Structure 1
Amino acid sequence: MRNVNLNILKFLESIDNFCLSLTNMGLEVSYQLSVISYQFTEKTPHTLHPTPYTLHPTYTLHPTPHFPTSPLPHFPTSHFPLRRSS
Structure 2
Amino acid sequence: MQDIVTAPDGQSRIFETSGLTQTIRDGETGAVLGRSTFTAAGAEPEAFAQPAFLPAAPVAIATVELALALYAVRSGQNDPYSRTVLGLSAQEFL
TM-score of the superposition, structure 1-length normalised? 0.29
Q: Identify which of structures 1 and 2 has the higher relative contact order when contacts are C-alpha pairs closer than 8 Å and 6+ apart.
A: 1
The structure where strand makes up a greater share of residues is 2
Q: Which has the larger radius of gyration?
A: 1
